[in-house]
Amino acid sequence: MMELLKKLGAWLEERTGLYEPIMHMLTHLVPPGSKWYYVFGTAIMTSFIIQVITGIALSTLYVPSAGQAYMTVQYITHEAPFGNLLRAIHYFGASAMILFVGCHAIRTYVMGAFKYPRELNWLTGVALLFLTVAMGFTGQVLRWDQNSVWTIAVGAEQALRAPFIGPYAAQILLSGTSVGSATLSHFFACHVFIFPAILILAIVLHVYLVLHHGISEPPVVGELVDPKTYKTKYEAMLKKEGKPFWPDAAWRDIVFSTLVVIGVVICAVAFGPPQVDRPPDPSLVNAQPKPDWYLLWYFALLALLPHAAEDWVILGFPIFIVLGMLSAPFISNKGERSPKRRPWAMAIVIFVITFVGALTVAGVTEPWTPNFEAKALTPEIIGAKSGPIFDGAQTFDTKGCLFCHTISGHGGQRGPDLTDVGKRLTHEQLTIRIVNGGYNMPAYAGNISAKELADLTTFLESRK
């Protein structure tokens, strides 16, 4: 039996010649120190393979028609056998991919792996990062629920701010003048054909470059990268102490990827697929569009900006991020690779992680959103059942103050908590504030009667 297989193998090798280059690739030498920090690339690859398989499977039931997509997603989620699990795996696979693309980018930046001769490894990696986010975003839109149609409206509105090309950019995003069939079909084509094709080409190029230059060795303080000598030194090091990738290094990649796959499946079973929102009917105005978790930080950034800075940030920030990431290997492609000797680079990494992390937390809690479900103030909180204080409390409710201000735990977070505003502001100051409004507060001068105003201030004064 073994004899027969060996013969078959030899026959195939003589006709294809594939064994030789594959083994050459698998056993390429890697630096001895490339250990657990080096597993993120394969983790991304593994999650991508999960995405391809689950994505193809989902496409066998999903119909990219504006009138029917929502129905098919509902069917896949609630009726089709395995559909719920499949959608969930596709969602958590995407999340894993984005998470590990982030880890991989941080790891290679921290270890200075983008320096000579691996500048193009970094650039193709940056392209892959943005393609991955683009895949996530287009995938979210394919759910084609209320959140999708309004998310596109939000995207179009941002594109519209670009000078001169704004209306064209918005039309390209919408594939027309408004959200509809063409929008969905174009997003579908991008998500399943165009972006994956570019993604696969970029992966091939990226992996080729990794093999061509070899895996970067762990940085050592004081060992400077000099383009004149780096390659010779690297080759000599590999010859002396390099280990074959298979199996000396590959086992760590496989172990980590296994954990990733198990993690994705556990999350999928435990949490299920993302909820499908209400139908994609833009005439239902009670909608609150929100991106998936990995773009929440950007959503929060747009909410917290000073209003005057908005145009600049909406247009400039994406360009700044892209150019900033692309320029990294050109700003410094030699010298120290060790994070211990690159304080500015480390400061940037810490800042980015803190910035994105803090904004993500803000994006989850959304303190700037009016609380449309605020519970009315109870008589106990008001402390009166009739009279001006009671009437003022009713005005506080009907005029929408409660959407943004909290009193004794009832209300929204956008404006200051008014539980003890009577201690801080006088009758006069309260009146001026209500009548004139402020940065984020409407001026109520034209929206409130003299009696309502008097009652309202009396009520607020009693908050001590």
Partner 1 sequence: MTNGCGGHKYPNPLPDWKKVFVSREEFLKMLSLVLGGVIGAVATIPGVAFMLNYLFVPKKIEWVNVGPIEKFKEHETVEVGFHDPNTLPWDGVSGHRSAWLRRLPDDKFTAFATNCTHLGCPVRWESKADLFLCPCHGGVYYSNGDVAAGPPPQPLHQYPVRIVDGDVQLKVTPVLIES
In the window 180-199, what residues touch partner 1 (CB under 8 A)?
180-182, 184, 186, 189
Residue 398 binding partner 1, by CB under 8 A: yes
Q: Least Å distance between CB 416 and partner 1?
A: 14
The residues in 263-322 that bind partner 1, with binding defined as CB under 8 A, are: 279-289, 302-303, 305, 307, 310-311
CB closer to partner 1, 196 vs 263: 196
The residues in 79-108 that bind partner 1, with binding defined as CB under 8 A, are: none
Residue 211 binding partner 1, by CB under 8 A: yes
The residues in 115-144 that bind partner 1, with binding defined as CB under 8 A, are: 144
* Residue in the block written with tokens 């211990």: 340
Tokens at 69, concatenated: 């997509």
The answer to whether the beta carbons of residues 89 and 265 sit under 8 Å apart is yes
Cβ neighbour number for residue 178 with a 10 Å cutoff:
14
CB closer to partner 1, 77 vs 183: 183
Q: Which residues contact 309 (CB under 8 A, 6 or more apart)?
A: none
- Is the CA virtual torsion 461, 464, 434, 386 positive or negative? negative
CB closer to partner 1, 82 vs 168: 168
One-letter identity of residue 158 = Q
* Residue in the block written with tokens 């994956």: 196
CA distances from 340 to 111, 222, 223, 346 (A): 10, 10, 12, 8
Q: Least Å distance between CB 331 and partner 1?
A: 27
CB closer to partner 1, 245 vs 256: 245
Q: How far apart are CA 35 and CA 243, in angstroms?
A: 12
User: By CB under 8 A, which span of 158-166, 255-263, 266-274, 317-325 interacts with partner 1?
Assistant: 158-166
- Is the CA virtual torsion 272, 273, 275, 276 positive or negative? negative
The answer to whether the beta carbons of residues 245 and 30 sit under 8 Å apart is yes
CB closer to partner 1, 132 vs 147: 147
The residues in 326-385 that bind partner 1, with binding defined as CB under 8 A, are: 368-370, 372
Tokens at 113, concatenated: 């792996």
CB closer to partner 1, 172 vs 259: 172
The residues in 32-71 that bind partner 1, with binding defined as CB under 8 A, are: 65-68, 70
User: By CB under 8 A, which span of 45-53, 98-106, 131-139, 436-444 interacts with partner 1?
Assistant: 436-444
The residues in 401-430 that bind partner 1, with binding defined as CB under 8 A, are: 403-404, 414
- Tell which phi-psi region holds residue 400, choosing left (phi > 0), alpha (psi between -120 and 50) or beta: left
Q: Least Å distance between CB 424 and partner 1?
A: 20
Q: How far apart are CA 289 and CA 150, in angstroms?
A: 6
DSSP state of 346: H
Q: Least Å distance between CB 183 and partner 1?
A: 8
